[in-house]
Amino acid sequence: MFANTTDFSRYASELLPELSKRELKAVDRLFTPLTVRQGSVLAREGDSGREAMWIAAGAARVDRDGTTIARLGPGEFFGELALLTGAPRIAMVTAETDMLIGALTRQEFATLLDMSPMLTQRILVDAVRRLRASAA
């Protein structure tokens, strides 16, 4: 497990290179760093989405209807679709390893999107790519 979450900003600077130093400081204030144990369920299919999460370290499995459809790792977001659409979560996400994640409320996520057009584009392109891959 991670000794503490103070390393979160270091992960952010390495995994979000499109952000300026000023934007990284703002991001650091937005995210709530959380350590998660292997096997923890991070999002349940069908639940309402109240937060988006960004993986700083570790790995997660994405299941829909009991079938694994994706694996996620450092630098990837999940939960953003429920915040963007207001629809229930479309998949279950489970920690495959111990993880360090950054959680964002709906308002924090909106602030993040407003703050960095480049990061917004990255988040949306990744979300569409995951949706297309799971539909194939």
In the prediction, which pLDDT does 104 show?
Answer: 93
Q: Report the percent of the chain where pLDDT is more than 90.
A: 48
In the prediction, which pLDDT does 94 show?
Answer: 98
- CA count, 13 A, side-chain hemisphere, 132: 6
Distance, in Å, from the CA atom of 113 to the CA atom of 82, rounded to the nearest integer, reads 15
96: left (phi over 0), alpha (psi -120 to 50) or beta: alpha
The average pLDDT across 100-104 equals 93
Higher pLDDT, 104 or 5: 104
In the prediction, which pLDDT does 127 show?
Answer: 85
pTM of the predicted structure, to 2 decimals: 0.86
pLDDT tens digit sequence for 27-42 = 888 889 999 999 999 9
The average pLDDT across 64-81 equals 92
User: What superfamily in CATH does domain 8-131 come from?
Assistant: Jelly Rolls (2.60.120.10)
The average pLDDT across 45-69 equals 93
Higher pLDDT, 85 or 97: 97
Domain borders along the chain are: 8-131
